[in-house]
Chain A
């Protein structure tokens, strides 16, 4: 057998072996890391990358760094070409050249076999704090990169096995709790060394040439598989637009546009039309939106197979420079996970038109980063609480969503800590951890419910920071299903609820007092199908379990529950009334109205606004789409009364609604989707 030739069986053995190296790396890092987001949330990736920066092996536990890792390696290869030696260690976190938020620090570790560069084990992990404005580094109000912490362009921190002390000291001096950060650094380094040992064993057993030939074959095979799946899709263009919350008080929502073009066995995803970078944390370098795009394509086309670079070859992702999805210096990039999620929701909406049978309601759209910092009176030491509560997942064509659980785009790791651990390490009392009633998106199948978690502050004072999204524009429903309740953060002081920020979901250092209760409420998942088609007994079951109040059962589903039973005649009447109250309009295409930030506008006559109950220009409505996800639009007006039976929409809405001129569409206000009991 030639060294370059690999038989099918050796190929399987090597694939299994390379993935097992990654699993060993993961186990090592989880067991030794100091940052809770590494060992609890597993917000890190271990990857093997080849000499050209291509992913060779990855265990699929956490998808959020799929693109950032090879991006960082290529950045390193560009800067240190000819100056890479055994024992060198590189760090990188710069978002503009492929990083995520500054907390995610990549370690790149070249492994040599007989003087030849074999592979790079790479670990990208979220360190608990990298400096910046607020404890934990991420907050809802940073506006430039300097607020986010210390920025590390590609940097050599060990040379031929020797740590460069001055560089590391400088780095740790700019982070909070440097002892823990050193711990994270050491565990990452140890993890790379474990990988090095294993790669050398593999190379000495099979020969480096065979390993290289095998990795080439594995990439080709993944490419072929992806091409076959794409070729099975109908050629054409599919589009959706998705909105993030306003980045600051008074600002407009932020738009993420996705157009999928299927041509033969390849596919382009173009994010053109998306909003410009924002004056807030919700920006990112180019790698995160690409990751979001890939997560959705992988989910629809090739779930259950290992990820390697071959998967990416048939896919071309275009991200306009200067948009919030591919921002320029010095934009803050603290909200990289919200950016990734925005790409996920936009591509999900477009992909749903291609494969409606697989489509599901929308998800929470954010990490819900929540930090509480203060001084613990038990030992006068500072504490830092950090959680990122999961929400409900979207309903599908066959089943309800799941409540308060990690969704399809997230690794399977805890988003909340044990209350008993929190109370040991923080001056906080966890008073409630419950399913959040009425938070699901209604539908023939309903979305999952979010959770509510209440924490009482026991320290004299505290600081609350939150970076979240979908606090204003909630997760969408599909095929007529309703929106999930938005994420919501409140402080309960002296029995009264107050908002910790005038911009919902964006909080930086809100001052807390002893006795305050911080209430985290995560979003519900989007619903699927018409809620009036839901079996009344299923609605009753949710009411009996206390997940749904009777008021919501009646308002959303037209189901009247009385003394623990469904009142049949009253339900029939209520459903009939709800159906009759629905507002249909004919589509009237207009030239795209020039509006601020390119938000989707819909023009309605005054009488039409009145029919839709109290609506005013600037209000958000949902235009239900038979093609899947509903279209969000802001009321523009007024149109002439002659057009009272129609809705004026920009021509590009055609691509989303797939409705011709004059076709009927239903419009509803957000409140009759789902948002709190009456």
Chain B
């Protein structure tokens, strides 16, 4: 049986296949067909099936147990505003909440901007309806739901040919009865319309964030529903037993049926696979504290994982709207291989955030790009080779790269092109480093206690420079760094998140209420995972409490200490975590528990990869070439290795370059490199950090 991970990105669709019989892992890439992503997926599946059949040596004997799919269709539909014709039903007086929100601009760099225009709300005013009903903060009904009035709203929805409805009433997290009744009535009156009640999407207080998340769910619901149904039908042909799972932004995967009900959980799931895999690979290598650095063409995603546990946040934004679904807590910075370097009239050097993308791309792609990118700078420094992509057309392209870098250097008042190129790389690195600082030091974690896990096409090339800036002594480069997100899909756990808003003090009197809430959540998690076909023995539950000092507005997640639950133990854990995060704690102050959260989890069972000795080789390294590479210390004649031929557990010293399909790793002077038995590269600083 095989397990297949398929990840759709903006440019490429990546596939990784794990064969349980042979324990072999293979990877492939296809160009993504924008607008017809399902076709790319099926193409990849067929290719994987064919490849696997060939390897097995018996045509047709192909069994697929599980396909795990990461999709950006929901994300793209929101960013490009190509979703369903959706309506909003709100408590009377609140139909404009979607437009007003908390009166924020929700867009960066808009201070001092007189011309700023707020994007129109996803649902126009004529499709937003006031509903006569009211529940108070305790969940008591102040005014019953007026069903006759609701029926005439349903008629209006039909007239407007609405495809999806978001229902968000005040305090529905405390009492969902009115939302439930509304759903029943609407599903009855409007068959085929996607109805999404807010308590089902975000059962937590703060109505605006709950509303926008529900609206996003409704907006992409019909689209995802059609896409996933088509995918499932195609997959089932010939593979009756194959199960399809979808990657969620929490870093866990969910069964198809769940994804069709709350598709908003797939939004911003793009980088989650890589982070999950990075954590797994670091753990397998013996490291619990890891910073992942996924550097692609336009941006870099960084994430810190402490104690081997992913940190989850629910405070996210997309398209100027809050998105309150659990997401791996990470930072994205607009610096990637394609980021453009430029000099302002005042002589200031900038790198990014604009990217040359894949068209026209960096100058060295030879597709018409004229502006120096980070990739061009690396090429000029000798750290990157063009040979694989462009064959015989190196010389003229190199001249173009050189003259563009010369022009840039003139503008910045720098007289050496290599210094200029190195500066471009360092500035891009500085932006990544600042972004890592925000998720590490500013949250109380010391990056020096972590390893840096570098992947994505451009990650392994900059990794040791990033590590130098942060004082990190060890960099890991996993197997398939260029296809790592797809690999991550295979290794992700199956995960369902549940939450309940409590807003109670943390005292011996209230702790039983908290325990009861967690027990209720655990019951729901088990029920749901049983529906998915898992036994209780396979399920683990991870519990956290969102806590704050009474009077504060923001809470921090606290892992629930061992049973029996005691207020004292919970408080101690809160004060300890708080002091670590913010430099001080006030142990005499009352503490409040805002939400109880529980994740029901079934771990994936995919073993770690193995470094295979290439056939027909005596196990020795294979030198591709030696070439001149520019470092701060000067120009060096450097060996360039083929990764697949590097002997296991035979460390060698930098400088060196390691090439493979989809990525290049640079081992800087002062660093050494070892390939371990799981095919992870360990780059280790020889001298202690400066």
CB pairs A–B below 8 angstroms (8 shown): A12-B427, A23-B438, A183-B586, A187-B582, A406-B105, A408-B111, A416-B102, A433-B100
- Does B412 contact A433, Cβ atoms closer than 8 Å? no
> Considering residues A8, A60, A413, A424, which has the most beta carbons from chain B within 10 angstroms of its beta carbon?
A8
Contacting residues, chain A, for B96 (C-beta < 8 A): 433-435, 451
List, in ascending order, chain A residues with CB within 8 A of B118's CB.
Answer: 402-403, 405
- Quote the shortest CB–CB distance from A422 to chain B (angstroms): 9
Q: How far is the CB of B656 from chain A (nearest CB, A)?
A: 25
The answer to whether B125 touches A547 (Cβ under 8 A) is yes
Give Cα A418–Cα B112 distance, bound, in whole angstroms: 27
* Beta-carbon contacts under 8 Å, A8-33 to B: 8-9, 12-13, 16-17, 20, 23-24, 27-28, 30-33
Residues of B within 8 A of A565 (CB): none
The answer to whether the Cβ of A654 comes within 8 Å of any Cβ in the partner chain is no
Q: Is B567 an interface residue (CB 8 A)?
A: no
Tell me whether A31 and B423 are in contact (CB under 8 A). no
Chain A 410-439 residues near chain B, CB threshold 8 A: 410-421, 423-424, 429-435
Interface residues of B in 570-604 (CB under 8 A from A): 581-584, 586, 589
For the complex, give the distance between the alpha carbons of A312 and B102 in Å: 33
Assess whether B112 is in contact with A34, with CB atoms less than 8 Å apart: no
Question: Distance (Å) between the CB of A290 and the closest chain B CB?
Answer: 16
- Residues on B with beta carbons closer than 8 Å to the beta carbon of A40: 102, 553
Q: Which residues of A contact B (CB under 8 A)?
A: 8-9, 12-13, 16-17, 20, 23-24, 27-28, 30-34, 36, 39-40, 60-61, 63, 179-180, 182-183, 186-187, 189-190, 193-194, 198, 205, 221, 224-225, 228, 295, 298-299, 303-304, 358-360, 389-390, 393-394, 396, 398-399, 402-406, 408-421, 423-424, 429-435, 451, 454, 544-547
Decide if A420 touches B551 in the complex (CB within 8 Å): no
Using Cβ atoms and an 8 Å threshold, which residues of chain A touch B117? Answer: 399, 402
**B114 interface hit (Cβ, 8 Å):** yes
User: CA of A286 to CA of B113 in the docked complex: distance in angstroms?
Assistant: 25
Q: Contact: B95 with A16, CB < 8 Å?
A: no
B110-138 contacts to A, CB under 8 A, are 110-118, 124-126, 136-137
B441 in contact (CB, < 8 A) = yes
Closest chain A CB from B91 CB (angstroms): 9
Please, which residues of chain B bring their CB within 8 A of the CB of A183? 549, 551-552, 586, 589
Q: Counting CB contacts under 8 A, is B239 at the interface?
A: no
Given contacts A194-B442, A412-B107, 4 further A-B contacts (CB under 8 A): A389-B103, A399-B117, A402-B117, A423-B136
Distance in angstroms between the alpha carbons of A40 and B104 in the assembled complex: 11
CB-CB under 8 A from A416, the residues of chain B are: 100, 102-103
Measured between beta carbons, the chain A residues less than 8 angstroms from B607 are none
Please determine whether A434 and B93 come into contact, CB atoms closer than 8 angstroms: yes
A295 and B112 contact, Cβ closer than 8 Å, known pairs A190-B584, A221-B346: yes
- If A24-B437, A24-B442, A34-B549 touch, whether A424 touches B137 (CB-CB below 8 Å) is yes
Whether A33 contacts B552 by the Cβ 8 Å rule is: yes
Residues B104 and A406 in contact, CB atoms below 8 Å apart: yes
Known contacts A28-B442, A183-B551: A360-B114 contact under CB 8 Å? yes
| Chain B residues with CB under 8 A of A39 | 552-554
Which residues from A are CB-within-8-Å of B345?
Answer: 228
B113, A27: Cβ atoms closer than 8 Å:
no
Structural contact, A8 and B137, CB atoms closer than 8 A: no
Q: Specify which of A179, A194, A225, A360 is in contact with B551 (CB 8 Å cutoff).
A: A179
Contact call A8/B413, Cβ cutoff below 8 A: yes
On whether the beta carbons of A194 and B112 are closer than 8 Å, the reply is no
A61 to B170, CA, bound (A): 31
Asked if B219 is at the interface of the complex by the 8 Å CB criterion, the answer is no
Question: What residues of chain A lie closer than 8 Å to B93, measured between beta carbons?
Answer: 430-434, 454
Q: Please pick, from B124, B207, B348, B441, the residue contacting A24 in the complex, using a CB distance under 8 A.
A: B441
A451:B103 contact, CB within 8 angstroms: yes
Q: Identify A414's interface contact among B102, B431, B582, CB under 8 A.
A: B102
Q: Determine which residue in A16, A221, A299, A418 has the highest number of CB atoms from chain B within 10 A of its CB, and name it.
A: A418
**Whole-angstrom distance between the Cβ of A36 and the nearest chain B Cβ:** 6
The minimal Cβ–Cβ distance linking A423 to chain B, given in whole angstroms, is: 4
B residues in contact with A394, CB < 8 Å: 114
Given A221-B346, A424-B205, residue A390 in contact with residue B103 (CB < 8 A) = yes
Q: Which residues of A contact B116 (CB under 8 A)?
A: 393, 402, 408
The interface residues of chain A lying within 8 Å CB-to-CB of B209 are 418
CA distance A274 to B93 in the complex (A): 42
CA of A390 to CA of B553 in the docked complex: distance in angstroms? 20
Cross-chain contact A358 with B114 (CB below 8 angstroms): yes
Whether A9 pairs with B205 at a CB distance below 8 angstroms is no
**Chain A hits for B438, CB < 8 A:** 20, 23-24, 27
**Interface size, chain B (Cβ < 8 Å):** 69
7 shortest A-B CB distances, which residue pairs? A414-B102, A432-B93, A390-B103, A24-B442, A303-B112, A9-B423, A190-B583
The answer to the question of B542 belonging to the interface, with a C-beta cut-off of 8 Å to chain A, is no
Q: Mark B281-304, 1 if CB is under 8 A from A, else 0.
A: 000000000000000000000000
Which chain A positions have C-beta within 8 A of B584?
A: 186-187, 189-190, 193
Contact for A34 among B99, B170, B551, CB less than 8 A? B551
Closest CB in chain A relative to B93 CB, distance in Å: 4
Q: Are B110 and A412 in contact (CB under 8 A)?
A: yes
Q: Please, which residue of chain A has its CB at the minimum distance from the CB of B434?
A: A20
Q: Is B379 an interface residue (CB 8 A)?
A: no
A80–B423 Cα gap in the complex (Å)?
42
Q: Are A32 and B112 in contact (CB under 8 A)?
A: no
B207 touches A420 (CB 8 A): yes
Residues of B within 8 A of A429 (CB): 136, 142
Q: Are A30 and B103 in contact (CB under 8 A)?
A: no
Q: With A424-B137, A431-B93, A433-B93 in contact, do A17 and B434 touch (Cβ < 8 Å)?
A: yes
Cα separation A420 to B63 with both chains bound (whole Å): 52
Residue B508 interfacial (CB < 8 Å):
no
B528: Cβ under 8 A from any A Cβ: no
Instruction: Enumerate chain B residues within 8 angstroms of A402, measured Cβ to Cβ.
Output: 105, 116-118
B206 within 8 A of A: yes
| CB of B619 closer than 8 Å to a CB of A | no
B106 in contact (CB, < 8 A): yes
Least CB distance, B636 to chain A, in whole angstroms: 21
The CA-CA distance from A242 to B126 in the complex, in Å, is 38
Do the beta carbons of B115 and A545 come within 8 Å of each other?
no
| A572 CB to nearest B CB, Å | 27
By beta carbon, the residue of chain B nearest A301 is: B112
Residues of B within 8 A of A20 (CB): 434, 437-438
Taken together as a complex, chains A and B put the C-alpha atoms of A415 and B109 apart, in Å, by: 19
Question: Is B414 close to A, CB under 8 A?
Answer: yes
Q: Is B260 an interface residue (CB 8 A)?
A: no
Q: Is B668 an interface residue (CB 8 A)?
A: no
Chain A residues lying within 8 Å of B586, measured Cβ to Cβ, are 182-183, 186
Knowing A12-B430, A24-B441, A404-B100, the reply to whether A31 touches B554 (Cβ < 8 A) is: yes
A363 to chain B, nearest CB (A): 10
- Given A24-B437, A405-B105, A412-B110, A399 and B582 contact (CB-CB distance below 8 Å): no
A396-B206 contact given A28-B442, A406-B105, A414-B103, CB 8 Å threshold: no
B10 CB contacts on chain A under 8 angstroms = none
Contact of A32 among B136, B503, B552 (CB under 8 A): B552
**Closest residue of B by beta carbon distance from A194:** B583
Determine whether the beta carbon of A224 is less than 8 Å from that of B552: no
Residue of B nearest to A426 (CB): B137
> Is the Cβ of B100 less than 8 Å from the Cβ of A13?
no
With A and B bound together, what is the CA distance between A12 and B584 in angstroms? 32
Contact residues, B350-399 vs A (CB, 8 A): none
Check B426 for interface membership: any CB of A closer than 8 A.
Answer: yes
Q: Is the CB of A13 within 8 A of B427?
A: yes
B349 at the interface (CB under 8 A from A): yes
Shortest A639–chain B CB gap in Å is 38
Give the shortest distance, in Å, between B600 (CB) and chain A (any CB). Answer: 27
| Minimal beta-carbon separation of A293 from chain B (angstroms) | 13
Give every chain A residue within 8 A of B426 (Cβ-Cβ). 9, 13
B115–A60 CB distance below 8 A: no
- Residue in contact with B126 in the complex, picked from A36, A193, A390, A544, CB distance below 8 Å: A544
